[in-house]
Structure 1
Amino acid sequence: MAYILSLETSSSVCSVALHQDQQLLTYAELRLEKSHSSHITVMVNQVLEYAGVSLKEVNAVAVSGGPGSYTGLRIGSGTAKGLCYSLDIPLISVDTLTAMAQQVIETTPNKEKFLYCPMIDARRSEVYTCIVTHDLKIALPVEPLIIESNSFEPYLEKQPVVFFGSGAAKAQEMLAPNENAFYLENVKPSAKAVGQLAFAKLQAQQFEDVAYYEPFYLKEVYITKPSGK
């Protein structure tokens, strides 16, 4: 039996989950822009208190590893690393897009009939995306993609594809109409799915180096100084 504390901060939604093995015990979510840094530790304490579990009983911390918001990923990884270092427990990183796909797959009837395309808005015509099968096998690796009308044509020709996430509306607008394309609204990254996928990594002892771990930003971040007068 293991307690896994999971953090999701890759988007505008901040969430924390506590699992006992694969069973969800408690969950907290906050949909408030730019609030992650001031609320994440409070939410950690809340989910532990609600479950009647002390911080010292936690066996591993899982974090949504990206891609996603640069600032959000930094907050999540920094919090997770701090907890792991202080408690001397393993750090587990879960791909954000894969965790999003897991959320949709587990609620989809006849899930094996579809491909799943999670999307994170990366501004303008670009998204961070991938395509996975119903058992999370990679059909299209994670990549930054500028959407064009025929971007997913080879996949849509073979079987239905479900598009979801913050970039899905952009895809629906840019892609040519196709009877094999399905779009879901309001699918946000969640610590629930991060915790679910983290359990397999805990069993396989697929851990990150707490000292050197960095989130998967996918693209370099360019920081410019404001022009002075």
Structure 2
Amino acid sequence: MPIILSIETSTKGCSAAIHQDGKLLSISELSHEKSSSGMLTTLINHVVKVASLTFQNLDAIAVAKGPGSYTGLRIGVSTAKGLCFTLEKPLIAVNTLESMALGLSHFDSSYLLCPMLDARRMEVYCAVYQSVTLNEVEPTQAKIIDETSFSDLLQNNKIIFFGDGAEKCKATLGVNPNVIFLNGNQYPSAKYVGILATKAFGMNQFENVADFEPYYLKEFMTTTPKKK
């Protein structure tokens, strides 16, 4: 029965959780902006203590690999890799969007799930999954949303859109009767990362710790002053 520490820093908040054989033992979450860098280590120490474990009791470290915030992902992956090197434990990487979909997989199988994370302007990071089974219908991608987005799928399916990127899509997509937006933001959570990580552990799906990098999906964009 593997004991896994999971780390989630894909968005403005962060969370850490301990699972044993897929069962949640402890979790600690913060949703404040920029909380990842200052509080992640505190959250990790807290969940290990609450679960009445030591770090040596862990069988693996799991991290949400992205897509998401460039800074948040860099912090989460760096922390996870540091723990793996120090403790000599394997690393498991979980797709952030898939973990979000898992959180809503209790919806009837007739629905499709589309987690969305805010990118830039009308662009979002998204994927589409079948509810319950989480079979991938559309792969993870950076998508610019317009009136034609998801039109093929929406002809015969009801799609639930959620996450911090969904809010800005309401005016564009909300006219379609097969579109459903959930109230409030459904943020990624280590609670669901740990469940997927347990499955990956059983299949020996581990990353090369030295070479692993976050799944940024696209290059980090920044603004630099023009040279005079």
| TM-score (normalised: structure 2) | 0.95
1:113 equivalenced with 2:110 (yes/no): yes
Q: Which amino acid aligns with 1:157?
A: Q
Q: Which amino acid in structure 2 is aligned with residue 32 of structure 1?
A: H
Quote the residue 1:191 is aligned against: 190
Q: Residues 54-65 of structure 1: matches in 2 within 5 Å?
A: 54-65=54-65
Q: Distance in 1 between matches of 2:85 and 2:74?
A: 16
Q: Of 121, 142, 146, which residue of structure 2 is paired with 1:144? A: 142
Query: 1:54-93: per-residue Cα shift (whole Å, max 9, x none)?
Result: 0110000110000000000000000000001111111000
Query: For residue 18 of structure 1, what is the aligned residue in structure 2?
Result: 18
- Matched residue, 1:123: 120
Give, as a single letter, the amino acid of the residue that structure 1 aligns with 2:14. Answer: C
The 1-side partners of 2:222 and 2:176 are apart by 39
Unaligned runs of 5+ in 2: none
Task: Select between 168-177 and 14-23 the one with higher mean Cα deviation.
Answer: 168-177
Cα drift, residue 175 of structure 1: 1.6
Q: Find the counterpart in structure 1 of residue 53 from structure 2.
A: 53
Equivalent residue number for residue 88 of structure 1: 88
Structure 2 residue corresponding to 1:182, chosen from 180, 183, 198:
180
Code of the aligned partner of 2:71? T
* SS in structure 2 at match of 1:178: coil
Say which SS state the counterpart of residue 65 (structure 1) adopts: strand
Amino acid at match of 1:221: F
* Structure 2 counterpart of 1:122, one-letter code: A
* Structural RMSD (CA): 1.3
How far apart are the structure 2 equivalents of 1:222 and 1:153? Answer: 29
Distance in 1 separating the partners of 2:88 and 2:200: 17
For normalisation by structure 1, the TM-score amounts to 0.95
- Rounded to whole Å, the distance in 2 between the matches of 1:51 and 1:24 is 9
1: CA distance, partners of 2:62 / 2:219: 24
Aligned counterparts of 1:13 and 1:34: Cα–Cα separation in 2: 7
Report what 1:157 is aligned to: 155
Deviations 1:118-162 (A, max 9, x none): 000112111011101121111111111110112111111111110
Q: Which moved more, 1:65-74 or 1:214-223?
A: 214-223
How far is 1:222 from its partner? 3.5
Q: Distance in 2 between matches of 1:172 and 1:212?
A: 39
Distance in 2, Cα, partners of 1:113 & 1:21: 29
Contact 1:149 1:176 in 2 (8 A): no
CA offset digits 1:181-223 (Å, max 9, x no partner): 1111320000000001001100001001100100100001144
Query: How far off its partner does 1:224 sit?
Result: 4.9
**Structure 1: which 5+ residue stretches go unaligned?**
none
Q: Bigger shift: 26-35 or 61-70? A: 26-35
Percent of residue pairs identical: 46
Secondary structure of the corresponding residue to residue 187 of structure 2? coil
Cα shift readout 1:4-33 (whole Å, capped 9, x = no counterpart): 000000101210010001100000001111
Report 1:204-215 matches (<5 A): 204-215=203-214
